[in-house]
Amino acid sequence: MSAPKNFVITGSTRGIGRGVAAELLKRGHSVAISGRSQVAVDATLTDLAAYAAGDAKLVGTPADVSRTADLQRLWDESKRPLGRIDVWVNNAGISHPRQPIGELHTEDVNAVEETNLLGMMLATQIAMREMTTQPEGGTIYNMEGFGSTGMKTRGMSLYGATKYALTYFNKCLIEETRGSKVRICYLSPGIVVTDLLKRDMGSTTAEEWERTKRIYNILADRVETVTPYLAEGLIANEKHGGRVAWLTGKKAAFRFMTASIRKRKIIEDADLQAT
């Protein structure tokens, strides 16, 4: 087993972030969680406490990732009890109901860009600056998603644009930080059934829903399936520019080829009704 590490995970009061935090704690690593509200952070701290193994510590700080002051406080209040931050994971992100480009709601444009792109950039800047003052440096992971590879689907231009930009930004960071104390890496969970995904599905037409359901039942996974793998990758990777990816191209191709004989039921009509 590798030496215990200290992690900060933004947006970790639910979904993938919360699941990864639980898996890291189970493996004896310390975690600082964050969410937008103190209520959400406190509730998550209570829920996750039972997972902490060995000497693992669990702390939490509310933070709006679009605000520099909140992010600096998250770093400071995480480092104080943990001593150092080895890995910072920019997981915080939001989605939006599917909208044609000409009908995008201004509030969605602002919120999605501020959280998924601006928030990631600001958090990366703070984590980079602070990690350079640590003798051992540190590692930053930025979360890829739909759009990172240039994939397109109707109504997802806004969310996809933030992830396409994130991947470009990460490529530039990797080049700029070669030879430094700070490693820049990618975290790629694939299609995971979370509240964000369900919110997106809630805006589809009946025809789009049937098509989406077919694809998701081939490619999607649940949080409890994906997060153990992601946690193991976050612990093990030491490579600058490394990518911890669950849904690889080979895995996706295999699932499509075997879809007729390996029936998977990941998404059901009840998931759409719950949105």
Which residues participate in catalysis according to the annotation?
Answer: 159
Q: Are 39 and 64 in contact (CB under 8 A)?
A: no
Q: Are 177 and 129 in contact (CB under 8 A)?
A: no
For the chain, give the number of residues.
275
Q: Are 156 and 200 in contact (CB under 8 A)?
A: yes
Q: Are 66 and 118 in contact (CB under 8 A)?
A: yes
Distance CA 154, CA 43 (A): 36
Residue whose token pair is 């991947």: 167
Interacting residues of 151 by C-beta distance below 8 A, sequence separation 6+: 160
Alpha-helix runs per DSSP H in 97-194: 106-112, 119-131, 157-176
